[in-house]
Amino acid sequence: MTSFLGCNPTATFLATDDKPTALGTISGAGGKDYVFVQASAAIAQYDCCGVTATFTAAPISTTNGVLTGRAGVAQVAIPSGSSGWLLVMGTGQCNVVASTAANTRLNTTGTAGTLDGAGTASSKAIIGIQLSAARGAGNGPAPCVVANEPTVSTVVL
């Protein structure tokens, strides 16, 4: 992917690197927007992440405590302590469990960064991210559409 408006969504920056912009900056073009965050835990490619008010991010799960109001999806891996970009609007890929259907509400799971179409008593809904195609066998990435700055529901399902 090419860099645009100072945003290269495939780049990550170590804690010691000069950053291209401030945390929380939203940048993008061509129908995609990204927010610049610092990883408070290792983020795998295509993980759905919770984003705090100070723009730190970590893979979201039903139990990891990163159940904030904001969410985004990493299109590349971001090592813990490093900074990078999360997709907050446009098309991309998102990690989901096996057999997750397209166009259904996605929910947190016990596996950090991985969403599911079936909620449990401790799940929270992710509002603004939907799969555009179903996931087949095995957990992994599936094509998704991310609405403008997705959020984590404050209501346990």
Cβ neighbours of residue 97 closer than 8 Å, sequence gap 6 or more: 109, 111, 114, 115, 116, 135, 139
Whether 3 has a pLDDT exceeding 50, the answer reads no
Q: Can you read off the two tokens belonging to residue 117? A: 């179409």
- Asked, for residue 12, whether it belongs to a domain, the answer is no
- 152 belongs to a structural domain: no
pLDDT at 156: 58
Q: How far apart are CA 157 and CA 155, in angstroms?
A: 6
- Residue 80 falls within a domain, yes or no? yes
State residue 6's pLDDT score.
57
> pLDDT digit string (tens) for 82-99?
999 999 999 999 999 999
- The residue behind tokens 């990078």 is 84
pLDDT surpassing 90 at residue 30: no
What span, in angstroms and rounded, lies between the C-alpha atoms of 20 and 130? 30
Tell me, yes or no, whether 6 lies in a domain: no
Decide if 69 is inside a domain.
Answer: yes
Structural domain span for residue 119:
26-146
Angstrom distance (rounded) from CA 70 to CA 40: 15
The rounded mean pLDDT for the chain is: 89
Q: State both tokens at 88.
A: 């907050």
5 inside domain: no
pLDDT band at 2 (very low <50, low <70, confident <90, very high): very low
Assigned domain for 155 exists? no
Asked, for residue 50, whether it belongs to a domain, the answer is yes
Q: Parallel, antiparallel, or unpaired: how do β-strands 140-156 and 83-96 relate?
A: antiparallel
Please tell me the total count of domains within the chain.
Answer: 1
pLDDT in tens, 99-156: 999 999 999 999 999 999 988 888 888 999 999 999 999 999 999 999 988 988 866 5
pLDDT at 157: 52
What is the pLDDT confidence band of residue 4, given thresholds at 50, 70 and 90? very low
71 pLDDT higher than 90: yes
